[in-house]
C-alpha cells in the first residue's frame, strides 16, 4: 500500500507492505518499506528509482510503469537480487 505525492511530472511514493515467502513446508511473512521517486513521460512511461528496506537489508532498484487503463499500470522493479512485476492500481 502506498501514497503518491505529485509535483508536476515528479512523483514521490512512500510504500509499506508484507512479503510472503514460502520455502518447503514453512511460510514466512516479513514487513517491508519502500520509497520511490519517478518522472512521468506523458503517453510513454513512469521511470525512476527506489529503495526497499526489509529487515536488515536495504536495496536500491530501478522502476518503470506503463499505462494499461486510465487507473492501471503494468509496473516492474529491478535491482541487485531483487525483481518484482505486477499491476499498480491508482485511486
Q: What is the rounded average pLDDT of the residues 46-64?
A: 93
The count of other CB atoms within 10 Å of the CB of residue 13 is: 19
pLDDT for 66 equals 96
pLDDT digits (tens, 9 = 90+) for 23-45: 777 888 889 999 999 999 998 99
Whether the per-residue pLDDT at 90 is higher than 80: the answer is yes
pLDDT for 38 equals 97
β-partners of residue 48 are: 38, 63
What is the residue-averaged pLDDT of the chain?
A: 92
Of 35, 28, 72, 26, the closest CA to residue 53 belongs to: 35
Amino acid at each position: 500500500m502506498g501514497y503518491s505525492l505529485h509535483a508536476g511530472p515528479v512523483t514521490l511514493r512512500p510504500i509499506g507492505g508484507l512479503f510472503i515467502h514460502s520455502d518447503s513446508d514453512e511460510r514466512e511473512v516479513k514487513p517491508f518499506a519502500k520509497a520511490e521517486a519517478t518522472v512521468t513521460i506523458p503517453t510513454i512511461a513512469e521511470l525512476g528509482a527506489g529503495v526497499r528496506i526489509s529487515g536488515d537489508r536495504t536495496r536500491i532498484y530501478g522502476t518503470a510503469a506503463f499505462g494499461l487503463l486510465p487507473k492501471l499500470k503494468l509496473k516492474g522493479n529491478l535491482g541487485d537480487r531483487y525483481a518484482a512485476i505486477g499491476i499498480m492500481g491508482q485511486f
